[in-house]
Amino acid sequence: MEIMELFSLTLILFLIMDPVGKLKMFLSCLKNVSKKRYYYIVMREMVIALIAILFFNLIGECFFHTLGISQTSVNIASGLILFLVAINIVFSNEDKKIHLEGDEEPFIVPLAIPVISNPALLATVMLYASSIKNPWTSIIAILVAWFFSCLVLLSSKKLLKKIGIDGISAAEKLMGLVLILLAVQRILQGLTLFAHM
């Protein structure tokens, strides 16, 4: 297993999950629940999201191999998706809150899907699953990225208190910039493969 490949994929998945940018969403949805209930709901939604991500990882390899899509196409497509996600993170100024009816607790929608296991993340997982030789690399990367996302979301109130909303926004923009660099690198890898075809 390539350590750098594992690290790169883990970082990419963590950045697309964007737990720092999702803090306000979770706090807004769960503002009326107790601390103990908050932890329970976050873990429940994260487990549901993990199941969805692993499912798309499983079908991704079969899907792209069946279609006969080349490694070049996968690299360029995944790079473009990462780039669009990163641009949205860096330049988005909207207040990321979700309003629920009454005191209704979220279940699956919207926190598990589409906030955490969002379309960009699922598409990326499918694309990388078809391009990585060792299937355990993508599975381990998903689990590690998911674990650190859980840590961030479970400690959301402490983070908000320590660094504030401006600090969270700044951290999210920085994560977006890193993702842009990774996206450009992925596109260049695809173009390099295309040039040698």
Residue 99 counted as domain residue: no
Is 131 part of a structural domain of the chain? yes
What pLDDT, on the 0 to 100 scale, is given for residue 36?
A: 92
Can you read off the two tokens belonging to residue 85? 């996600």
Q: Is 14 helix (H, G, I), strand (E, B) or coil?
A: helix
Helix-, strand-, coil-residue percentages of the chain, each rounded to 5: 80, 0, 20
Interatomic CA distance for residues 109 and 75, integer angstroms: 31
Are the beta carbons of 128 and 61 closer than 8 angstroms? no
Indicate the Cα dihedral angle 48, 80, 6, 66, nearest 10°.
70
Query: Is residue 120 a part of any domain in this protein?
Result: yes
Domain of residue 41, residue span: 3-92+106-195
pLDDT at 80: 93
Residue 47 lies in a domain: yes
Most distant CA pair in the chain, distance: 58
Q: What's the confidence (pLDDT) of residue 47?
A: 97
Query: 130, 74 in Cβ contact below 8 A?
Result: yes
Grouping H, G, I as helix, E, B as strand and the rest as coil, residue 107 is strand
In a domain, 11, yes or no: yes
Number of domains in the chain: 1
The answer to the question of residue 111 being in a domain is yes
pLDDT in tens, the chain (197 residues): 588 889 999 999 999 999 998 888 898 888 889 989 999 999 999 999 999 999 999 998 788 778 888 878 888 988 899 899 899 888 876 555 555 555 678 889 889 998 999 988 998 998 888 888 888 999 999 999 999 999 999 998 888 888 888 898 898 899 999 999 999 998 998 899 889 87
Domain contains 39 = yes
Residues 182 and 89 sit within 8 Å (Cβ to Cβ)? no
What pLDDT score does 163 carry? 86
Q: Are 159 and 24 in contact (CB under 8 A)?
A: no
pTM (2 decimals)? 0.87
Q: What confidence score (pLDDT) does residue 1 get?
A: 54
| CA–CA–CA angle 121, 123, 124 (5° rounding) | 65
User: Is residue 182 assigned to a domain?
Assistant: yes
State in Å, rounded, how far the first CA of the chain is from the last one.
26
